[in-house]
Amino acid sequence: MFRPLFAIPRRDKQREWVYFCGHSLGAQPKAAPSYVRRALEEWAWEGVGAYFSPRAHWVDYADRLRAKLAPLVGASPAAIAIAHTLTTNIHLLLATFYHPTPQRYYILTEQQLFPSDRYVLESWAKQYGYSDAIVELPELVPSTQAVLQAITRLGERLAGVWMSGVHYLTGQAFDIQKITEAAHAVGAWAGWDLAHAVGNVPLALERWGVDFAVWCSYKYLNAGPGAVGGLYIHPNHHERGPCWAGWWGNRLETRFLMRPQFDPVPDARAWVHSNPSPLLLGALEASLDIFAQLPLELYFEQVRAFHHRLRQGLSALPHVEVLTPPEAHGAQVSFRLKVQSPKAAFEWLLEEGFCIDWREPDILRAAPVALYNLPEEIDAFVQAVATLPHD
């Protein structure tokens, strides 16, 4: 769709990858170096003065980007903050929302939760002395009905639901609205990891009543390795403020008065601890400015079309088992190969120029990204998989 605006990763000087790893690290916007260079030049010319100069004004750079990001998460700018990393943001938000009691302490989550998320949930459960607090859904690829039934079974014992908007391993997109509503119906909160969802599937966090969410920016948002993350908190919760306060969450009007009392920003920015790097913000802005050119409804239709093109091609092959649900997905297709050595087959596909990835013990993931991949790349990949030796 906007391929000329992206640098496609290369195998060598002569050859580009067929790059289907946007679910892991998005391709670089070609404009990103100029955005980062601008911040470097501001630093060189103005030093610390760049924080308040009319030209740079770094002090609210992250705040200004919220309006560009808001349409991709379906929230008002005041409900989001751009800061930290995904795991840090989960900790910050669970500190606010997870206050278990002996009667209500369970957290419902999916199977094969991303390890970092799992570590955070277990850390907080153990902190409060509830080693059995984490309850997994019974299936790796559950139906929405199965999730809702699990919530109902836990009922008043459920403190909250923590799930992925799109499962990192299977590529399944969960019904955020229905699951959130079900959690609220039993008095629990609903929090979401949107690392594989933002920029990949349509989101309407505020309208759906989601309590809180986090995301990273280096996958479908193409903001580069180690990119600045983001968090969302529903406006209904802004008054409670963060349990763990930090200087950058203080109102800008009083932040530099250096008062000992915390004076929180009256929105999601109160949860921010420290100022995000203008260099990282520049890389993110380069990508957000591309998204700003998109009619998002058309873009997400193209995401679905690319997914269906790939899954239909793979599903027609007798030695391929597609794991991603046919009607609940973003770009990613996760699949298994019924061949003698799936790992060797994966490595052969890499040698043939197809950049996908492998997850133990036997799952391959491929994500044709509508921004920069091409239909003919999808077809070429399916043809390559078709040639793999199999029984």
Domain ranges of the chain: 3-30+295-386, 39-291
What is the Rg, in whole angstroms, of the alpha carbon atoms belonging to the chain? 22
pLDDT of residue 390: 73
pLDDT of residue 319: 96
β-sheet with 106-109: strand ranges across:
80-82, 230-233, 212-215, 189-193, 158-164, 106-109, 134-136
pLDDT of residue 391: 63
Calculate the alpha carbon distances from 95 to 12, 54, 133, 230 in Å.
Answer: 46, 37, 15, 16
The rounded distance, in Å, linking the Cα atoms of 7 and 22 is 12
Are β-strands 363-366 and 333-337 bridged in parallel, bridged antiparallel, or unpaired?
antiparallel
Are residues 373 and 27 in contact, defined by beta-carbon separation less than 8 angstroms?
no
Q: Tokens 């903050």, residue? A: 81
**What stretch of H or E contains 71?**
helix 61-73
Q: Which residues of the chain have pLDDT under 70?
A: 1, 391
Yes or no: domain 3-30+295-386 corresponds to CATH 3.90.1150.10:
yes
User: 92-106: per-residue pLDDT in tens?
Assistant: 999 999 999 999 999
Please name the CATH architecture into which domain 39-291 falls.
3-Layer(aba) Sandwich (3.40)
pLDDT of residue 182: 98
What's the length of the chain? Answer: 391
Note the maximum CA span of the chain.
73
Backbone angles phi, psi at 338, to 5 degrees: -90, 70
Calculate the alpha carbon distances from 236 to 78, 183, 232, 254, 381 in Å.
Answer: 12, 16, 12, 24, 47
User: 226-251: per-residue pLDDT in tens?
Assistant: 999 999 999 999 999 999 999 999 99
